[in-house]
Amino acid sequence: MTSRTQQVEVSRSGVGQRLDNYLLRMWKGVPRSHVYRLIREGQVRVNGSRSRVHRKLATGDIIRLPPIRTAAKEPTSPPEEFPALRECTLYEDDSLLIINKPSGVAVHGGSGLRGGVIEALRKECSPGTYLELVHRLDRETSGCLMLAKDPAALRFLHKSLRNPSSNGIQKKYLSLLVGDWVHGPRDIDLSLETVRPTNESRRSVVTGKGRQANSRFVPIQHFDEYVLVEIELRTGRMHQIRAHAAAIGYPVGGDRKYGSRAGNRRLRQVGLKRLFLHAVELELKHPQTGQRLAVKAAMPDELTEVLMGLS
């Protein structure tokens, strides 16, 4: 696909970036050597003049972008019926965007999916706008999903995710588990390893060779053979909640990979059509102000109705 000549004003997130890095982010899949050649030949110009690859961009700079073939394959784009994710915004400023992701929507395209949250949101942005996922949620999980709007914020938040005990990011979930919970609050410290069995998708298994994974389960409401729990994630491994819940004998309701067929069957009778897992709260240190920020996403109506059915 070949683009047309464009005049693009440098976005706020691009201020201070090198020209080559700005272009590489804008032109996904274009070889670095080709970008360098376009700059050296003067086909890319800043404010009407030739520039060096390491030029630092400033507020108000206008970049001339020449016609360029980006990729033979069309970029991933969300289908037309994709939900209006901007209507799901919970918090937004110059550094952060936090949305209430609906269940059934992937965070990014791939594996046969036409697109995801990141592609849909970028489609609404002007060229050169910076937007990257800070973390991920499973496709069937709803709730708080955070995106960074500049590189410095992304680096800060990734560092916070790696160090949750040091003013890091606290993530809390609500989930309905299958089984009669006979404990109070329970800390689960079971290492998880990502495996891919033959002809199956990836999954996490408890193993001594895995990476440290720590979750805290706190019961909130008991039902006959089910329990609603709040879960605090202290690490971020693939399918951590689902794998930990199944490992201790209380799988997440509606989970077709790690769950209980019998338990799921009864939940379908009371209207559950998805995974009962919702990212209810994010608490973090703001990358710019340093102040603590807490953002909550109310439980979706379809999950609330399931709890009413069990009651």
What is the structure's pLDDT at 72?
45
Q: How confident is the model at residue 310 (pLDDT cuts 50, 70, 90)?
A: very high
Q: Which stretch of 119-133, 171-185, 198-212, 259-273 has the lowest confidence by average pLDDT?
A: 119-133
Q: Is residue 221's pLDDT more than 80?
A: yes
Largest CA distance in the chain: 72
Question: Per-residue pLDDT tens for 159-184?
Answer: 888 776 556 789 999 999 999 999 89
Q: Is residue 75's pLDDT more than 60?
A: no
What is the structure's pLDDT at 142?
97
Q: Give the residue-averaged pLDDT of 63-86.
A: 66
Strands 142-148 and 277-285: parallel
Instruction: Name which residue leads in pLDDT, 80 or 6.
Output: 6
What is the structure's pLDDT at 73?
47
d(CA 311, CA 307): 6
What is the structure's pLDDT at 166?
56
Assigned CATH topology for domain 6-65: 3.10.290
Are the folds of 6-65 and 167-310 the same?
A: no
Q: Is residue 96's pLDDT more than 70?
A: yes
What is the structure's pLDDT at 80?
53
Give me the residue spans of the domains in the chain.
6-65, 85-152, 167-310
Q: Give the residue-averaged pLDDT of 225-251.
A: 95
Instruction: Name which residue leads in pLDDT, 72 or 284.
Output: 284
What Cα–Cα distance (Å) separates residue 148 from each residue in 54, 143, 153, 157, 308?
24, 17, 6, 8, 37
Which CATH code, of 3.40.50.620, 3.30.2350.10, 1.20.20.10, 3.40.720.10, is assigned to 167-310?
3.30.2350.10
Question: Which three-class secondary structure state does DSSP give residue 36?
Answer: helix
- The C-alpha angle with vertex 200 and arms to 198 and 204, in degrees rounded to 5, equals 100
Token couple for 172: 């809390």
- Residue 199's DSSP bridge partners are none
What is the structure's pLDDT at 224?
92
Answer positive or negative: Cα dihedral of 197, 195, 273, 223. positive
Catalytic residue, chosen from 138, 180, 224, 301, is 138
The domain over range 85-152 is classified in CATH as 3.30.70.580: yes
Q: From the CB of residue 182, how many other CB atoms can be counted at a distance below 10 Å?
A: 8
Q: How confident is the model at residue 311 (pLDDT cuts 50, 70, 90)?
A: confident
**Could you confirm whether 138 is annotated as catalytic?**
yes
